Amino acid sequence: MTSVGLTIFDCDGVLVDSELVCNRVLAADLAGLGLEIGLEDCMARFVGKSMPTVQAELEAEAGLSFPAGWPEAVRARTIATLEREPVPAVPGVRRVIESLKAAGRPYCVASSGRVEKMRATLGSSGLKPFFADRVLFSSTMVARGKPAPDLFLHAAAEMGFGPEACTVIEDSLPGVQGATAAGMRVLAYCGAAYADPDTYRALGAVVFTGMGELPGLLGIAA
């Protein structure tokens, strides 16, 4: 294993500004099932979580039986929407990735979304050339999604790093919880209204509010 650390990015909300679109689709889908959860509440509750996790939480809470194959169906509707609607990169993140690449620093993505969704959003945002499929890791690859540590540990192992050599860039509470549980350094991006900086700090994360701060936190030249 190299002495150079691994940077693990979340995708939605960290690399691409897609959370509004994704949660709009989710809120509409839930409304069709009789669950009226507003867009803001949807984002506050479910950002960073996989669809099976969302389903399990709502079934326990509302006593509702979801249709068979619901996670796959809502994922398909989300990807179709993302392919129709432009998804911008998070401001400043492209320069961070270019700096990592120039410095020869390894990086990857660990997302609750499927690889197909990452391809769609990274493609729309113009970031896809920086991320080969071999560095895209999805919660579908592990037994438990965020906030469990499984996805982060899987990504690190596949990239050839131990947890102590990894820095995770996250924006959601489940992501911060999962990365912390994995024993990794966590940098929490608080550029969105749903971010909870005080809770992130309490979990041991370093909070930042703009991607311009990230090169310094990662020890690379901007």
Q: Whose CA is closest to 204, among 217, 189, 185, 182?
A: 185
Residue 157 is predicted with a pLDDT of: 98
DSSP 8-state assignment for residue 68: T
Same-domain check for residues 80 and 101: no
Please report, for the domain that includes residue 33, its CATH number. 1.10.150.240
Same-domain check for residues 166 and 68: no
Same-domain check for residues 170 and 64: no
Residue 184 is predicted with a pLDDT of: 98
Tokens of 207: 């909070």
Same-domain check for residues 60 and 95: no
Same-domain check for residues 125 and 210: yes
Number of domains in the chain: 2
Task: Answer whether 0.85 is exceeded by the pTM.
Answer: no
In a domain, 1, yes or no: no
Same-domain check for residues 134 and 179: yes
Which of 60, 84, 108 delimits the end of a domain? 84
The tens digit of pLDDT for each residue in 54-84 reads 999 999 988 888 999 999 999 899 888 888 8
Q: Give the mean model confidence (pLDDT) for residues 7-32.
A: 92
DSSP 8-state assignment for residue 11: S
| 2 confidence band (pLDDT: 50, 70, 90) | very low
Same-domain check for residues 79 and 110: no
Residue 193 is predicted with a pLDDT of: 80
Same-domain check for residues 196 and 209: yes
In a domain, 200, yes or no: yes
State the alpha helices, DSSP H only, in 51-114: 51-62, 70-84, 93-102
Q: Give the mean model confidence (pLDDT) for residues 47-57.
A: 89
What are the C-alpha distances in Å from 35 to residues 6, 22, 45, 64, 86?
40, 17, 14, 9, 28
In a domain, 179, yes or no: yes
Torsion 66-79-19-154 (CA) sign:
positive
Same-domain check for residues 129 and 177: yes
Q: Give the mean model confidence (pLDDT) for residues 172-196.
A: 94
The neighbour count for residue 199, using CB atoms within 10 Å, is: 14
The tens digit of pLDDT for each residue in 107-131 reads 999 999 889 889 999 999 999 999 9
Residue 202 pLDDT exceeds 70: yes
Tokens of 195: 């971010």
Which of 67, 84, 101 delimits the end of a domain? 84
In a domain, 34, yes or no: yes
Same-domain check for residues 52 and 134: no
Which of 84, 102, 134 delimits the end of a domain? 84
In a domain, 39, yes or no: yes
Q: Which domain holds residue 55?
A: 19-84
Please report, for the domain that includes residue 138, its CATH number. 3.40.50.1000
In a domain, 33, yes or no: yes
